[in-house]
Amino acid sequence: MKKEYSEYETVIGLEVHAQLLTKSKLFCGDSTAFGLEANTSVGPVTLAHPGTLLKMNRKAVELAIRMGLACHCEIVKENYFVRKNYFYPDLPKGYQVSQHSTPICRGGYIKIKTGPGEKRILLNRIHLEEDAGKSLHDIDSENTCIDYNRAGTPLIEIVTEPGICSSDEAFQFLTELRKLVRYLEVCDGNMEEGSLRCDANISVRKKGETKLGTKVEVKNLNSIRNVKRAIEFEEQRLVNCLENKEIIIQQTRSFDAGTGKTFSIREKEDAEDYRYFPEPDLTPFHLSDEFISRVGSEIPVLQDKRIEKYTTQWQLSGYDAEVLTEERDFADYFEATIKYTSYYKPAANWMLGPVKSWLNENKSEIKSFPLKPDQFASLIELTETGKVSFSIASAKIFPLILKDGSKSPLQVAEENNLLQESDVSSLKPIVDEVLNKFADKVKEYKKGKRGLLALFVGEIMKKTKGKADPAVVNQLILEKLKSE
């Protein structure tokens, strides 16, 4: 890093739009499903036909409150919507219905991990609003084509305070935020499909300066990594401007993921005038304490609480606990499994080993994992009680019961003759046979080449097709060699 960069600090605020996981739109019953044919999920309200009236989706209000409570926000009880007036063709009414002076959630924070420790990123607000339609510029050479399916989809906008100090912190914040919306089932968190979108407000200033520098806003950031890259590009550009005594213009920029650079899309000459006023077509709404506490009672146990439980109550490592709880469904499955077995660590190993690889190979999710937690637990019990070795269980029994879940792991092991042989009377003859065959090696062993033990064990495992219990085999060989 050049010397001059270290004299500056970056100040970042993020605005994140998250599409709520409702079935229908914010103010009318059109579907919010992704990937429908253009303009097939529209109705008179979405298209802003005269005389239509809006009616608020209860579920959207609940999801916004759920997010607010999980972020430690104050829930604003007296709410109303306003019209934010501007002209753009993807906005059929000529205004966006949004919340201005009464955001449904105020304040709050999201915790992130940084080098020195935990940091709280403070939120300014979370408010409800409707999404716009989609403009397609390259279908037709003469016109812009508009698809209004997305218009009216419920969004929450999460606005942070300008308290993010680096691209790494922004990366951490978005990672935590995405995990949180998925845990809460507020939003699917898919940035490529645009259900989670992020704009970054960035400014730089000399260290020690208390006034904020002129900010630029970067849009079109479709992955967490690109948010980080855009911030890194922009902070350098802004410092270079200041070092060259150039004036920074307040502007909106876009990020080109191909080149890693940002470019200006419009300059904010005068402050935009949105002429906000209360939406007369929508009744105000009042949130009662009962309503808020009912929503609160539906919030699932979040990751940090789970990690605490996993490491203390079940004695798992911090790493295991973290990976197991990364996704709520995965953690739920683990917790369901250990209701049937108290082999916590082996259960964690199975989840992070064979289960995760199977899900990856099949591009599948734990929700559609074919094994029931009780079946899965009995497979774990099978190896932990020494009936089957882990390698046989994971390589042979696991795939078989995944294909046909009607039989128990024990049945599958029996039918396929996979049970571990720990019966001394049946193993003894095999041990004798092998040691006789390798009589010369036995002599060498007795002279002191102790490493040959592994060879004998290996031969016996071969003969038993891996089914012999290695502990018993070891014991038998040692006894036999001693007695001779």
Partner 1 sequence: MEVNDALIDKLANLAKLKFEDAEKEEIKKDLQKMIGFVEKLNELDLEGAEPLLHMSDEVNVLREDEVKGSISREDALKNAPVHDEQFFKVPKVIKK
286 binds partner 1 (CB under 8 A): yes
325 binds partner 1 (CB under 8 A): no
Could you tell me how many residues of this chain bind partner 1 (CB under 8 A)? 51
For 209, the 3-state DSSP assignment is coil
80 binds partner 1 (CB under 8 A): yes
Binding part of the chain for partner 1, among 49-57, 317-325, 358-366, 420-428 by CB under 8 A, reads: 49-57
CA–CA distance, 356 with 103 (Å, rounded to integer): 41
CA–CA distance, 121 with 118 (Å, rounded to integer): 10
User: How many angstroms separate the first and last alpha carbons of the chain?
Assistant: 72
Query: Could you give the string, one character per residue 141-180, with x where binding to partner 1 holds by CB under 8 A and - elsewhere?
Result: -xxxxxxx--------------------------------
293 binds partner 1 (CB under 8 A): no
Instruction: State the CB neighbour count (10 A cutoff) for residue 430.
Output: 17
Contacts of 177 by beta carbon, 8 Å cutoff, 6+ apart: 16, 110, 158
135/385 with CB nearer partner 1: 135
* Residue for token pair 């304490």: 289
22 binds partner 1 (CB under 8 A): yes
Query: Could you give the string, one character per residue 102-141, with x where binding to partner 1 holds by CB under 8 A and - elsewhere?
Result: ---------------------------------xxx-xx-
Query: Could you give the string, one character per residue 395-434, with x where binding to partner 1 holds by CB under 8 A and - elsewhere?
Result: ----------------------------------------
118/273 with CB nearer partner 1: 273
43/194 with CB nearer partner 1: 43
Q: How far is CA 172 from the centre of its chain?
A: 12
**What is the 8-class DSSP label of residue 368?**
G
48 binds partner 1 (CB under 8 A): no
CB of 191 to partner 1, least distance (A): 22
CA–CA distance, 307 with 316 (Å, rounded to integer): 9
Contact 418, 467 (CB under 8 A): yes
55 binds partner 1 (CB under 8 A): yes
For 237, the 3-state DSSP assignment is helix
Six token digits for residue 363: 């591009």
CA–CA distance, 119 with 34 (Å, rounded to integer): 35
CA–CA distance, 366 with 353 (Å, rounded to integer): 13
Binding part of the chain for partner 1, among 29-37, 104-112, 238-246, 336-344 by CB under 8 A, reads: 29-37
The full DSSP string for 283-301 is --EE--HHHHHHHHHTPPP
Contact residues: partner 1, CB under 8 A = 22-24, 28-31, 37-45, 47, 55-61, 80, 85-89, 135-137, 139-140, 142-148, 273, 275, 278, 280, 282-286
